[in-house]
Amino acid sequence: MNTLVKTGGAWLVSPSLAAVRRMSVAGFATSSSSSVPNWEGGVSMVQGASRGIGLEFVRQLLENNKKGHVVATCRNPKEATSLVNLKNSFPERLFIQKLDVTDETTIEESAESVRERYGSLNLLINATGILSIPGVLQPETTLNKVEKSSLMLAYEVNAVGPILVMKHMWPLLKAGGGNGTEREVAVVANLSARVGSIGDNKLGGWHSYRASKTALNQLTKNVSVELGRRKDPVVCILLHPGTVDTDLSRPFQRNVPEGKLFTTEYSVQKLLHIINNAKKQDNGKFFAWDGQEIPW
């Protein structure tokens, strides 16, 4: 069993001697100056990994980094067929977990499992998002169609969920920093959307979705300021993936200009380039898939 050590007000992980020995035998280095194991290639978590962009993040992280480990979370792991198939291909490096952003207990349990298994994180990607649910939630084209239930559901999934995941994974990210990776810091990458930008809003509409992404932007910015003040080795960035051919966008693709509907492979490739090159000075910034900053 690992033990928790309180340092500077935060709980950090101290693996048991037996755990450290197991890691050493498996080829994982431990630093004499730190009680946290240094996983070669790092440990990444993708929240919302059962399909679409999240699933593609998992695939590319595993295929592009031959030694890194990935924690993939979703609401119903038993029904995540594509994730299970990836697990069969990467049995030693992919760890699948249940996490429902609307149930904080599952977030806490996921954090504890990662703490026990790895002791740290180097990357957190929050990929969960909802735009429409047949019979439940539809993008509002006029004010008359706005409903409280839609506003609350979009806010819960698109904004509250990611910030709670950040809250519970923060000690693990702080412990990991950039250790085992080519970055100097750990990264939190929250998938936002250009429609969440107030300055870029020229069309209106989509009240629930827009407002929930705007809220996610503000919450992420808030956390980035706090982590910067603490001088933690973690940066928080927001990413707009473009219009990607997924279940989320499929009902609304009719008016997408030619050449602007991206595959998940292309979008994630671009987003990972931004993540892998993130620096301390990028903390709190909002990037489009092409690396351009988006106005708030």
For β-strands 94-98 and 3-7, DSSP reports them as: unpaired
Question: Of 97, 76, 105, 283, nearest to 189 (Cα)?
Answer: 283
Long-range contacts of 31-37, Cβ-Cβ distance < 8 Å, separation of 24 or more: 31/179, 35/5, 36/12, 36/119, 36/120, 36/175, 36/176, 36/179, 37/118, 37/119, 37/120
pLDDT at 137: 85
Residue 243 buriedness (CB in 10 A; 0-12 / 13-18 / 19+): buried
Q: Residue 32 pLDDT more than 60?
A: no
Q: Residue 245 pLDDT more than 90?
A: no
The more confident residue out of 221 and 250 is: 221
Q: Residue 222 pLDDT more than 90?
A: yes
Segments making up each domain of the chain, as ranges: 43-288
pLDDT at 133: 84
Say which CATH class 43-288 falls into: alpha beta
Taking residues 62-76, what's their average pLDDT? Answer: 96
Taking residues 21-31, what's their average pLDDT? Answer: 44
- The confidence band for 24, taking pLDDT boundaries of 50, 70 and 90, is very low
The answer to whether the predicted template modeling score (pTM) of the entire model surpasses 0.75 is yes
- The confidence band for 160, taking pLDDT boundaries of 50, 70 and 90, is very high
- Which of 23-32, 81-90, 147-156, 210-219 has the least mean pLDDT? 23-32
pLDDT at 132: 80
Token pair in block for residue 124: 């957190």
- The confidence band for 38, taking pLDDT boundaries of 50, 70 and 90, is confident
- Which of 9-18, 45-54, 190-199 has the least mean pLDDT? 9-18
Average pLDDT, the chain: 88
- The confidence band for 18, taking pLDDT boundaries of 50, 70 and 90, is very low
Q: Residue 15 pLDDT more than 80?
A: no
